[in-house]
Amino acid sequence: MLISIFDSYLDDDAVAFNPPPWVSIVAVVALTLTLLLAVFIYLGIWLASIVMLSVVLAFVLWLTVGYTTPISRRALPSHIVLIIALLVHGAEQFRGGYADVVVTAFPNLIQPPNIITDASLALSLSLSATVIWLLGGAMAFYHARVGGFAILLLAVWSLVFPLSHVALPLLSSTAPVWVPGMASGFVVIALAFSSLRFTLNLTRRRPLS
């Protein structure tokens, strides 16, 4: 008798998981907005600006290339190489004290609670970001649009972030000329540029859908 309250119209026929494509746009906007605000709160406006620029550029690229046709699976090796390069870049920043340089360069912008340290930067930009890049790579393997966005975002971020190291001494008179991360930064820029070109050409030439 009582069991009848659990009755429904559900059955166990096979149902395809097929959400509408625009859901991926909502997912990308929601995830990147959350990420952006987290960076702003915990790491300050300097890094939030760099992330925002990267997100906007990656989003435009994704809408023009990666959204209409999934990013090719063949782009994954370049994505993995960039993850490795960014880890080395993060290690150089940690060793050289990049956080101190940012705080010295913008003493009025980086105020509590936005006091960044080398440890907090390593934890967020190297370790936690690697989780996102690896999961993005796994999603891109299955041609999920959000995974394709992660691939483009990593490539753009790997281009913009090391370039910001060059911009730092130009924007602030208190910043040193040599910013920690510059040595590996130039390698990361070269790899990111090649990766972006390779990925976009691959996806444009061989559209998957």
Binding site for another protein (CB under 8 A): 76-77, 80-81, 83-84, 87-88, 90-91, 94, 119, 122-123, 126-128, 130-131, 134-135, 137-138, 141-142
The CB-of-159 to another protein minimum distance in angstroms stands at 19
Q: Are 123 and 42 within 8 A, CB to CB? A: no
Transcribe 45-80 into DSSP letters: HHHHHHHHHHHHHHHHHIIIIITTSPPPGGGHHHHH
Count how many residues are written for the chain: 209
Give alpha helix (H) positions in the chain. Answer: 22-43, 45-61, 76-96, 98-105, 118-121, 129-141, 145-171, 182-205
The CB-of-119 to another protein minimum distance in angstroms stands at 7
Q: Are 203 and 65 within 8 A, CB to CB? A: yes
Closer to another protein by Cβ: residue 45 or 80:
80
Closer to another protein by Cβ: residue 49 or 124:
124
Closer to another protein by Cβ: residue 49 or 194:
194
Q: Are 163 and 40 within 8 A, CB to CB? A: no
Closer to another protein by Cβ: residue 105 or 152:
152
The CB-of-206 to another protein minimum distance in angstroms stands at 17
Q: Are 162 and 180 within 8 A, CB to CB? A: no
Angle between helices 76-96 and 98-105 (to 10 degrees): 70
Closer to another protein by Cβ: residue 23 or 84:
84
Cα-Cα end-to-end distance for the chain? 51
The CB-of-126 to another protein minimum distance in angstroms stands at 7
The CB-of-177 to another protein minimum distance in angstroms stands at 26
The CB-of-90 to another protein minimum distance in angstroms stands at 7
Measure CA 110 to chain center.
22
Closer to another protein by Cβ: residue 97 or 169:
97
